[in-house]
Amino acid sequence: MSEIMHHTLYDGRRVAFRYTHGSGPCLVFLPGYMSDMSGSKATALFAEAQEKGRACLLLDYSGCGQSAGDFADGMLSRWRDEVQALVASYVSGPVLLVGSSMGGWLMLLVAEHLKDRLAGMIGIAPAPDFTRWGYGEEQRAALAAGETITEPNPYGPEPTPTYAKFFADAECHLRLDSAIDLTCPVRLLHGKADADVPWETSLRLKAVLRSDDIQVTLVEDGDHRLSRDSDIAALKAIVAEFYR
């Protein structure tokens, strides 16, 4: 792995990232909610990029991992701007966006700004609009009233919080109810045993994207993380399609 660097945005935010130079489209990995660039999928793709001489960018959103800030201030708009700032500052040429879970929602927002620079998008259990389908009516009402809600965290001892600020911002970025004007090649990978993001979400996303080059791969026994050796091998095979 390359050393961790930091980029300072216009307002003083310092975002941690790793970048390796190389050929082909630059793979930009967007982690999920409360995740960071140290995850198994991100590190596996970065290591492969280094091995094969491909460009790759990993990052921690502000308030996550090794980036400065408070997670409670996190929003899709804020994190989108951080991704765009890093791409604008360090990446030349086409971009291959890879978004995991919430990163698959953020991927769409970043892609709408990159447009002609997009080589493609890869969604891993993408979770666009999860503030609509992922919470019950009481939870949504509490968030709309400015409250913080917490849920059990299957991946750690601390409960997972959702803040009203994140919820209010996310409601401005819903994408599944209308056509998404993105025409680049798209690959979606989703486990049918995903207990967090229903696999049908990938089919809903496929239906609203304008691209005529979309493939959905469903892993029969795959969970939400899709981090087994076989899952990562499947992901690497999908990534390889963009470097032929």
**Residue-wise pLDDT tens digits, 102-112:** 999 999 999 99
> With the C-alpha atoms ordered 42, 78, 179, 185, is the resulting torsion angle positive or negative?
negative
**Residue-wise pLDDT tens digits, 111-135:** 999 989 999 999 999 999 999 999 9
User: Do 104 and 83 contact (CB within 8 A), yes or no?
Assistant: no
User: Do 77 and 108 contact (CB within 8 A), yes or no?
Assistant: no
Question: Strands, E, within the chain: which ranges?
Answer: 5-8, 14-20, 23-30, 54-59, 95-100, 118-124, 149-151, 160-162, 186-191, 214-219
Segment (H or E) for 232: helix 229-240
Q: What is the DSSP string of 55-78?
A: EEEEE--TTSTTS-S-GGG--HHH
Domains of the chain as residue ranges with CATH? 5-128+183-243 (3.40.50.1820)
Q: Which residue has the higher pLDDT, 155 or 87?
A: 87
Residue among 188, 202, 193, 187 nearest 224 (CA): 193
Query: Would you name the residues annotated as active-site residues?
Result: 101, 194, 224
What pLDDT does 1 receive?
58
Q: Does pLDDT of 74 surpass 90?
A: yes
**Residue-wise pLDDT tens digits, 194-211:** 999 999 999 999 999 999
The token duo for 216 is 């959905």
Q: Does pLDDT of 139 surpass 70?
A: yes
What pLDDT does 86 receive?
98
**Residue-wise pLDDT tens digits, 9-28:** 999 999 999 999 999 999 99
- The helix-helix angle for 40-52 and 229-240 (nearest 10°) equals 50
**Residue-wise pLDDT tens digits, 43-56:** 999 999 999 999 99
Average pLDDT over residues 53-70: 98
Average pLDDT over residues 94-106: 98
